[in-house]
Each structure stands twice: as C-alpha cells, then as structure tokens.
Amino acid sequence: MSSIAAVGLAANAVFGQTNAERASWKLSHRFQAGWEYDSNIFESSSRRAASGSARLLLNTRGERRSARWQTYYNYSAALQTYPNYGEENKLSHELAGGVGARVQSWLHVAAKANAALKVYLENAADYGTTAGNLAASFFLPANFVAEASGETGQLDYAATDLYDFTFNGVELSLRRPLRANGIATIAVNHRALRYQRQAFIYAAGRGLFPRGGLQRDALTTARVAVTYGRKTVVQLALEAQANRSNSFGYDFKRWRASGLLGFRPAPGWMLRAAGLVQKKKYRDDLSRLNLRDLDTEREQSNFLVVDLSRDLSAEIALLARAAFYDNESTVPGVFYRKTLYFAGLEVRL
C-alpha cells in the first residue's frame, strides 16, 4: 500500500468513529537495544567483512483525531556502532508528520511531510532527504475511492553534489474495500528527477562525453496491491517501473513483487515477515558507467526479513530478526549479498 493510500485509509477510520471513541493526543514511545550480526557490513560484492554491532533505537509517535481532523507525527533516532569498524558508526534521524481533514462527506484532503538524516561519525558520507505531498480523496459510488496527489522532495549529500537530486511527481490511485477486511488498490505514479551532475552520451570511438546539460530522469511506476485480514494481515503487491534518462546508462525497466505477513502464532507472540524480489534490465552497457549512488542502503532489490517478538509484559518484549539481502550495489548491475541477525529488548511506554 502506498503511503498516500495509507493516509486515506487512516482518514476513513477516523471519520467513521463516534464522539465517544475520539480522544485527544494518543502518545506511544519505544526504546530498543540489542546486538546485530552483519555478514557484509560494507555491502560490497568484493570487499566482504563481517562484524557485530550495537543498536539503539528511540521512537515516539502521536496521533490526535476529531470529527473532522486527524494529525499525527512519528520520530525515530537510531545509533549503530561497530567495535572494529569505526567508519561504519552512524546515527540516523527520521521525522514524519501529517494532517488530514474531511471537507465534505465525499472529499477528504491530506498533507504530509518527512525528513531523514544519516550521519556517519567517522567518515564523510552524511546525507539528508526531505519529501512532502498533498492528496485529495474522492469517495465514489460502489465504495470506490479515487485519490490524486502531488509530491516533491530531494536528496542532499554533505560532501558532494554528484548524486544529489530534487524531484516532483504526481500519483493517481483507485481503491475499493473487499469482503472480509480486505482492500484492493491500483496506482500510477510519475516522477521527474533533476540531478546536479552532468549528462553524458556514449559513442563508439569517443567513449563518454558531456551532453551539454544536467541529467534529467523520468520514472513511471504502476502498482497493484491487495491487503487482506485483521488478525492475520497479508499484503501482496506488484510493480512495473520504467526510467528514462537523458544520460547514458540510466534507462531501465523493472518488475517488483512484494509481500507482507503478520500474525500471532500464540498468545504473547508476534511474527512478521516482509519480502521483495525484482527483475531489472538496463538498456545500455553498464561497464562504462560511474557509481549510481553513494549509499547502497537506498536500494532494496531482493530481500526477506522475518521478525519474531515475545511479550514479557505489557511494556517489555524480546525481539529477534533474521534478514537476507541480494541488493544492487553502488555499481549499476552489480549485486551484493548479506545476512543480518538481530536480538534485543524493547520497552514500550
């Protein structure tokens, strides 16, 4: 489900409540601490190094609902330290917030924004991202909901502008509830990206040479998703993407299939799983191309993540995670593999 659709669904839940069910701010806070093993900390196909690391996470979120309005925020701060690889020590911050309003019974509007900052404590790969969008949901006959939205955002590295970009986009979606706690969604998103780096052309005998302008990309995504269940929640999604660029090496087509699963196998236990597989094809010969990005974590290509938690009380839980990745590296078309294992404790307030 897209984040825009999630806002719309949340608005539906809010506006369907009675006055007695509505409250002022509802706040929740979490603290996680644990140890993680990473089989490939540099996320490289050639420079493989395994290490453990300490992970700390603080999270706070809040929501306020009324007959017409919904407001929310979500903030997380995470610290990860490696005993023998100080260049990988990092601190990250993520902040998101939004507001939704019922204008008419057939029209809801929503606005949201988010920002992320990743700071490496002993190297210069720091970067930040910002994004925001405005959406309008139209409630149609036969329980259909059509949604139109506009978005904007940017990526900014501290040490270089070679990988920086800004983007503007639009999205149209249509969703409809299914029987027995389900919902189906189809969406089309078109995003225009403006890079600060030079666009290049390749020609036999001359190699790569400047095109005479900056790189400009157009990314189009079509998505179909189905979410089903309440006690056991399942989501399946299929995406088709096409990227067109005025710079050599950046045109590609991609198919992605993803799934989510969450349920309680026994009282006090929670199992969650998420996976994604993709098939990506570049148009050009990538051996002549430079790095695609500086941070490999920004590309999720093929993965399976399984989380298991055990409640010790209403406030304390044990956590475990196993994750397997086969992601595209910073070099286009070159993939790396890694395995993660995590064990820790969560305190909820």
> In this predicted model, what pLDDT tens digit does every residue of 121-180 receive, in sequence order?
998 889 999 999 999 999 999 999 999 999 999 999 999 998 999 999 999 999 999 987
Across the range 285-298, mean pLDDT stands at 70
> In this predicted model, what pLDDT tens digit does every residue of 46-62 receive, in sequence order?
878 999 999 999 999 99
Torsion angles phi and psi, residue 52, rounded to 5? -90, 165
Which among 11-25, 282-296, 311-325 has the top mean pLDDT?
311-325
- The pLDDT of residue 207: 79
Range of the domain at 45: 3-348
User: If DSSP states are collapsed to H, E and C, what string results for 242-284?
Assistant: EEEECCCCCCEEEEEEEEEEEECCCCCEEEEEEEEEEEEEECC
CA 215 and chain centroid, separation: 24
- The pLDDT of residue 8: 35
Please report where in the chains the tokens 């991609």 appear, as a residue.
254
The number of folded domains in the chain is: 1
C-beta neighbour count of 40 within 10 angstroms: 20
> In this predicted model, what pLDDT tens digit does every residue of 228-275 receive, in sequence order?
998 899 999 999 999 999 998 899 999 999 999 999 999 999 999 999
- The pLDDT of residue 15: 36
Output the CA–CA distances (angstroms, integers) from residue 114 to 3, 95, 284, in the order listed: 11, 6, 34
Residue 22 predicted with pLDDT over 80: no
Which among 41-50, 68-77, 246-255 has the top mean pLDDT?
68-77
In angstroms, the CA 145 to CA 149 distance is 13
Output the CA–CA distances (angstroms, integers) from residue 77 to 95, 159, 193, in the order listed: 9, 22, 28
What CATH number does residue 294 fall under? Answer: 2.40.160
Across the range 13-33, mean pLDDT stands at 67
Q: Within a 13 Å sphere around the CA of 9, how many CA atoms are in the beta-carbon half?
A: 17
In angstroms, the CA 139 to CA 9 distance is 12
Dig out the tokens for 339 from the structure: 């395995």
- The pLDDT of residue 288: 58
- For residue 8, give the nearest of 180, 190, 114, 144 by alpha carbon: 144
> In this predicted model, what pLDDT tens digit does every residue of 80-124 receive, in sequence order?
999 999 999 999 999 999 999 999 999 999 999 999 999 999 988
Dig out the tokens for 207 from the structure: 């190699």
* Cβ-contact 244, 218 below 8 angstroms: yes
pTM of the model: 0.86
